[in-house]
Amino acid sequence: MAVDRASQMLLSEGARHWREVGREMTSVHQDLTQPQGQNPRNAQRVQDAEQQCELLVIGAGSAGIAAAAAGQRAGAKVTVIERERPGGASLWTGTVPTKALIAAARAAHLMRTADRFAITPVEPQLNFGELMRGIQDRVSAAAPTEPSGALQRLGVDVVAGAARFTGPETIMVGDVSYRFSRAVIASGTAPAMPPIPGLVECNPLTVTSFWELRFLPEQVTLIGGGPTGCEFAQALARLGSKVRIIELADRLLPREEPEASEMIAERLRSEGVEVLTGTAVRRAISYAHHQQLIIAGPDGAEPVTIESGRIMVTAGRRPVTVGLDLPRAGVFLNEQGYIAVDDRLRTENRKVYAAGDAVGDRPLASLAELDGEIAATNAVSGRSRIARHELGPQVVFTDPEIGRIGHTEMSARVGLGDWLRVRKSSGRIDRAIAENEPSGLTKIISNGHGRMVGATVISPRAGEVITELATVLQRGGRIADLASVPHAYPTWSDALWHAAMDDQAERQTAPTGRTAVLRRR
């Protein structure tokens, strides 16, 4: 039977089609049966499937956002991985909401103590649920632009998910692989839970879970007398709770000057807080309607059982590194469990940097932001900026506030020995007199040449005042520099001027042998 030309063409096209299908099926079979490491076709497909980025940032808290912005300014293609909500603990559960709580507590305290201004004092009526909702509104207002959106407008790719290193230059987020030229780990910290038997079963509050409360606890026992513990103790007592604070060290705020510890402990006691120092918590016991703690005091005292009320843990924080598989990237932890870095924030993998709370030292939002910028700049540009954490001011937001920069007297003596000068001014300045506030303290530490190495200020506005001393210290300045700058009067920073003038009085003696000094009032 004859086959016309059109039919021949159709048969020819069909044959070619099926030959192509056959070749493709053979290729697929080879891809499936040949080991991936020996198959260049698979290697190319894996490479094509990987997302490429020049700077990869793990974490979108204070350090991570600063790192991403610095990398973008340097012209790098930046990707940020965040497993929770961008903004970090400082914004959502730390610094910002805590200060809102402290402000409300201060208002309640002023109502109770208004008689010092010849105003009839009243007992405040607190709607704690409304207060907590209002605090959340203020937290949202502190981030007027949604953080992930702000990063995206900068040209930064924001990916939601948990990151896991798969090699020195790769990570996985879900089932997506990313290959980076440089990376910054800014995974932050979370509240630490002391290894106290029975504590977890008591479901204690932390600085994260506290903000879920809608009713003020009648009684609270705080475990940990550092900055966070002291801030919450005072705030909750002023709002109406019966508060106890327990600290293992022999004083509250063991990292601060002893004078600061004593002053804050005295203030807390005067406001009804029970302060237990040198006290260890041996066990926590949870019952149906109440909780107890077994504690042991100093000097081998017998353990005693106390009714704790609601337990809140304020005993520090731990780095968030679980699940990152750091060893796969050649990144390791130090003895304290934080990511080990050098003074340029590089890990042992020279392509990976770390910044913020995850590297330990002092968990401060201001230092985290600076860390993030330094780490990203060093990573992208190859610069060698050094992170000097000791130059970052630290503030304890109690009433009065404690501001510190650089060394304490004890830590300075380790390096300087007797070649150390300590200038203390505890006189009541005119601003304190005008506002009927008690005396504070200004303590400036310098070397034998008068160059400042540290300072502590205790006053109602120490957080603002300490920044001036931080500027002097960072510039390698001397106490004399403070004396040469006019200070507005009457202000809380006037205490610095008095301290500087007192120091000058000791250094400069008039020909008559009398000290030449000018003091206000």
Annotated binding site for FAD: 99, 357
Burial of 431 (0-12, 13-18, 19+ CB in 10 A): buried
CB-based contact 233:99 (threshold 8 Å): no
Location of structure tokens 């600063």: 66
Specify the DSSP element, H or E, that contains 263. helix 258-270
The annotation places the binding site for NAD(+) at: 224-231, 247, 316
- CB contact burial 335-356 (16+ within 10 A = b; e otherwise): eeebbbbeebbbbebebbbbbb
> What are the start-end ranges of the E strands in 309-434?
310-313, 317-319, 352-354, 394-396, 401-406, 420-425
Strands (E) located in 386-467: 394-396, 401-406, 420-425, 441-447, 452-459
CA-to-CA distance for 403 and 48, rounded, in angstroms? 53
CA 30 to centroid of chain Cα atoms: 53
Q: Which helix (H) or strand (E) holds 219?
A: strand 219-223
C-alpha distance across the termini of the chain, in Å: 126
Return the number of other C-beta atoms located less than 10 Å from residue 236's C-beta. Answer: 24
Angle at which helices 40-49 and 5-33 cross, to 10°:
80
Which residues sit in the known binding site?
99, 224-231, 247, 316, 357
Residue 503 amino acid letter: D
